[in-house]
Amino acid sequence: MLDPGRHDAVALLHNRDMDAPDSRSDRYEARIVGRLSPQLVDALRAAEITDITTGFTVEITDESALHALLRRIETLGLEIGSITRS
C-alpha cells in the first residue's frame, strides 16, 4: 500500500478545484499505480480500487488546476498510470 508518510498528504490533494466544480470544468479520470492508504483513497474520492491501481474522477476548472493536481501527485511520490479527459 502506497503511503507517502506525510501528515499533510491529504491536505495536498484537497483544493478548491477538486471540491467545487463549476460549469466551466472538465472531468478527468485518473489512475494511480498501486494501492493507496485509506486516507488518500478518501481524499481522492477513489471510485475504483484494484490490487494494481486506484482510480478516481476529478473536476478541473482550467489547465493550471490540472498542472497543480499533477504536481501534488508527484510531490506525494505517487505514480500516475493514466489521466484522460472524460
Q: Is the pTM of this model over 0.75?
A: no
| Domain ranges (residues) in the chain | 9-85
pLDDT digits (tens, 9 = 90+) for 10-60: 555 555 444 444 557 888 999 999 888 888 888 777 778 887 888 888 888
Task: Find all residues with CB under 8 Å of 19, minimum gap 6, and list them.
Answer: none
Helices (H) and strands (E) counted in the chain, each on its own, are 4, 4
51-81 pLDDT, tens digit per residue, is: 788 888 888 888 998 898 888 888 888 999 9
Which fold does the domain 9-85 belong to in CATH?
Answer: Alpha-Beta Plaits (3.30.70)
